[in-house]
Each structure stands twice: as structure tokens, then as C-alpha cells.
Structure 1
Amino acid sequence: MARQREYGEIPGYPEGTEFTNRKELADAGVHRPLQGGISGGKDGADSIAVSGGYPDDEDFGNEIIYTGQGGRDPATGKQVRDQELVLGNIGLVRSRLDNRLVRVIRGAHKGGKHAPERGYRYDGLFWVDDYWHDIGRDGYRIWRFRLVKLVPDSDSARRSVPASTRRTESVSSRIVRDRTVAEQVKAWHNSACQVCGTCLQTVAGPYAEGAHIQGLGRPHNGPDDESNMLCLCPNHHVLFDSGAIHIDDDFVVWDSIEQTRIGPLRRVSEHRIGLDFLRYHRQHYASPQDRAS
């Protein structure tokens, strides 16, 4: 019987705990795979190990651009084929969709500014803030994940609550967005979704969401202006951000999974959408076979 995945902190192993080797990590339940960098599957991912194994990894301390697993030659460590959205990779996507926290373990490696000098160290809980695919340094498709650290407001308050029932008030290093940009886009569309036309009515008035087309955070660095934003309902915002739908240069919305045409994007003359941003979204978020759509 498969062992149930345990998310969040592991009692008895606070942030900063050091481990001599992977077996100690596995025995503690902090990171169970003895070799793999991702502990995850289609139900989600509970931990990752950052140890310098992939040249495309970028570690900024409280933010990590992490490379997915698969496609490497075990003898040379070089990428020799495209990565697929399976196993631990799909697990990190599931954790992003379900807002599950991931334990980050850093291992000692040459040039690792934030890595321990030896062995492994548990470095806290991180959100999976974004995911996309790209062409890596070795010329093959890789899946990339941006993880942002959860920074507790009160360590003492967190320790006073059992891990299984803990609710954490937190802040994290996320991009500050200009709310006036989103409000302008929503006003142009009368808060109606540009994909389905739905305008949600609440007791406080209409509700819609401003969705950036090219992400603001690194490494995307998209601009926070109206040409890089859509007005979407919550459902189509999730589908767009996850790459399940995309928009072609003729402003037609496509189902990236079924590869079928959904219909024209609803547009107004005031809202000029940048084609370069739509192309960027297709290249990095839509299903790989749909990048040229």
C-alpha cells in the first residue's frame, strides 16, 4: 500500500534542520526519494531537493526557478530528450493548482550561494507560484517552476499549533501589481469574461479578474499594462494561466488539450492586446504541440 503523502512541515524537523545524506532525509519523511529531486505524483508534490543537478536551475534564496525532472543522460547529466509533464512534474503542477505548500531541501553543491556547506538542509515551505515550459541550455524542452518562500508572521505562533491543523498567516515575495490597470481592463469589458461572456454578479457588484498574458515575475518580466492583460472569469483565468486554453494571432481562443477551436475572443476597441504577449503565452504555457497555433 502506497504511503500517504504528507504536506507541510514534518513535526520534529524545523526549518534549518541538517541531514548528512538522502537516507536520513527519507527516514525523517522530509524528502522520501533517495535519488529523485521531486517527491510527487499526479496527486501533488510535497518536497523538492535543490542540489545543482540541472544547469537551468536558478536559486535566489526566497525565490527559486526550478527545473523539472526527466530527459537526462544518467552517465553525463546532460539533457538528451524533452521533459514530459508526468511524475514529479505533474505533481508540482497539481500543488500549484491546489495551493499546496512544498518543502524545499537544499543540498551542498559547487557555486550554490544558498546551499549548505555539506550534506542537506531543510529550508522551509514554498508556494509553487507559476509553471511553464521552455527550451533549456542543452536544446531540449524542460518544465520550469517558480517557487516563492512562505515567510511566517510569527514563528512562535506557528509552533504552538499542531502541523496537521496549522493555519499560517504569511507574506511572500510576490510582484506588487497595479490595481488601476486591472480595473481599467475590467471596466472596458463591463466585467464580462472575454472568453465566455459571463459577468458574475455578487452582493457587492460584478466580479471579474485581470489576467496577465505574459507573467510579471522573473524570468518572464512582462509589463503591468492593459495590452498585457485580459478580463476573465475565475474559471477561464485558471484555464489560461495553466495553458489549457490559448489565443492565436487572429484572437481566436483554442482548447490546448483537445486542440479544438472555442471561439473568438471578445474584444472592444479601447483594449489593444499585444500580439507579442499572446505569442509568448503560447510558446511557454500552451501544450508544446500547439506553440505554433
Structure 2
Amino acid sequence: MAFAHPLSDHWNSKPTDRPIHLLLNLYDLVVKETDGHFFPGLLREIQELDLPYNRLLILALDRKSPKSITKTVRQTLEQLETSCLSLADVWKTPSLHKGIRNIFHASFEQMYHRMDLTNRTTAEELVHIARSGDSNSTRSILRLLNNNTPFKISLHKAYQDIPHPDEMVLVRYHPGPRTSRCPDPHAAIGLINQLAIAISCCKNLTPSQSFHMVHWLYGFLRRHGGPVDPDFVRAMYHAGIVRRRRDGLNIPATQYQYILWIVEKFEGRAVVQQLTAPPEVGESNINSQ
């Protein structure tokens, strides 16, 4: 989209406005012929040229967007331009991400695809956020999972068991280097299970929020062919039933029956019978799992 010079602002225009519009229009045309993404390209050029801070990003957005820019967006753009903040830091802060996600949509998409979520440091950070964060930060994690294609593809490969050392197999399990393009399937499932447990126990989430987010992970696993482990099922039971009981909340009948159906599907009828025993027996059995 070319930059339009607003006629209503002619009375307050400066001599430098027209050259700025022409230069931005020219840059916009050049970018369209390359990667087609204006703001990601502009930010990349500013950082590669190591230009001193001159509010260029804010100026371009002021000229390009018909809407006024909020104070938070201005501060975020300033920090990005001065390299005090990276896009990798922005996605962890929902308030900042919400303001600029449309501006740097292409960059966020590329970043999501490059991230190795099964890397030990990254996985631990995600679980920590899920355990201690609020609903916005947890949704950021779910969005990250949903935008990482290699991670989603790897999930169905977790059905292949890792050979036990006693089997003395000649071929190592899924040989080859592990990268963001080829994450370890079992590590991917392990991350999903840890996130489900962390979310189900998060004190900053209501029981309803915990259950719906764990259920989102369940749907995510089923859509992409990943196995559902007992740890995951117990996290869903804890979020959807145990936490509501502890808080003195009613459990919707459909939700209760649905969770028990999932428990029976993946853990067997015997476990369901144990969970539906008299309250004093049932609760002690749950807490011991």
C-alpha cells in the first residue's frame, strides 16, 4: 500500500513531509519486489546498518497507519529500533505482542518456525511461564505451539517407542541431528505433558481457565496425531474436576462425563471405577496419583 499524504493535514505540513513520503513510498515499492514485508524489512535494515536512533519506525507507522499509535506501541518500537528489545522478548509479553503483532506478523511467523521448543532451556522456560503466568502469557505459549509446524509434524512420530537397552537393537532410534526443523518426537510429547500439568496446577488461572487450556492441548494432540499419555489425562482430571471440588464449585455434568470418558479411553475402566468411588476414598486415590 502506497503512503498517502493526508490532505486534511496540509495546513500543518512541514517542508520535510513530502520528501519523507516519497522516500517511504519508494522503499515500499522496493520491498514489495523482494520479501513484501515493509516493517520487518525496515527494522532489519535499521539494525544491520546500525543506524542511530531517529524514530524512523515510529515515523513510518505514523505515515502508514490511519489510526493513532498508543503509548505502549511507541515505546515498543523505540526499544526495537534501539535494540533494547527483540521480537523474541515481545512474544512473551502479551500486552506488547498485541500492539505490534500485525505490524511484524511475518517476522513472528518466521521466529515461531525457527524456535526449537524441545530444547531443554526453551522447554523449561515455557513450563515456568505456564506454571506461574496468567491467562494471557499461557495463551502466548499455546499460540507458539500452534504456529510451529515442525513441532506439530513431530507429534505423530512419538508412537514409535524408544528401544530398551536390553533389546540391543542395531539401529539407534530415529538417527540424525536434532534441530528446530526436526525436533525429537518424545521430547515434544514430554513438553505437552509438562505444560498440561503446569497449567492444571497454575494458581493464577481459575479452574475453568485451566480446564479449557488443557482441553485445547488435548485437541492439539489429537489433531496432529500425538499419543495421549496417562500424565496428560490426570492433568485434565485435576484441572476439570479436582480443582473445582477443592474450590467448592459445581462440576457441569457434561464436563464430568466427558473427562471420565477420556480417562476410560486412555487408562481403562478400572481407573474410572476407582475415581468414582465414594468421595473419601476417591479423593485419597486421586491425591496419591
The TM-score bracket by the shorter chain reads under 0.3
- Indicate the structure (1 or 2) with the bigger Cα radius of gyration: 2
Going by fraction, where is strand more abundant, 1 or 2?
1
